[in-house]
Structure 1
């Protein structure tokens, strides 16, 4: 006997959210939320023309926004979110993947910081050469 997977239906008493409620609560625009829907990161149910967001949609949106603040691309956020499975014992895998992404991001930022410091030194040297040349021109006049 094969078992068919079914999409869990929200409990009738489960809290739902409108797009406006989520936008206000998380301080984003409704357009931003619709963008994440278009990217397949959020999949609210529909009640006529109205989007109905579940608590899981709210958590996903919070994770997307946190990823954005941490500098993760949408693809990286999607990868981490897809590891999230409420009620499963996969938190360890998700946390390890997040730690790996954090280490990658930190290494990238460290390299960028080094590159900026090198560029600042080069700008300082170019500025000093300009000042020296301007001083020579002024002294010769």
Structure 2
């Protein structure tokens, strides 16, 4: 069975050890402890997968509670209808949010392109007037 240190996971996923400890505190990760004092965290392949999915969920805008629920669904039997419905509801809600954000972003980019074009025209006019 493969094990990982907090440093290895932090390096692999480009996050700080502090972020990993935070996710542990939030119940998203459950490393075992080693050493005489029990302070050394040892992460399993399960923890690595949960961290990967947690970071993906954060990038998509999911809350930690939503991520936790999705992770629990990921590890539960997939034939439970209430769990599948909750998963579907969460995914649909976030897809709708992301689509609205994309539309807002597209509109903003279009506005910026127009402002940029107007500024370039004004600069060219000013440059031509200065050269006369």
After the TM superposition, which residues 5-24 of structure 1 pair with which residues of structure 2 at under 5 Å, given as runs? 14-24=1-11
Specify which of 80, 86, 90 is matched with residue 101 of structure 1: 90
Q: Does 1:77 align with 2:70?
A: no
- Equivalent position SS for 1:51: strand
TM-score (norm 1): 0.61
* Structure 2, unaligned runs of 5 or more: 112-132
RMSD of the TM alignment (CA)? 2.8
1:1-141 matches, within 5 Å, as 14-47=1-34, 48-85=38-75, 89-90=77-78, 97-111=86-100
Larger radius of gyration: 1
Which residue of structure 1 lines up, in the alignment, with residue 116 of structure 2?
none
Aligned residues: 106
Higher helix proportion: 2
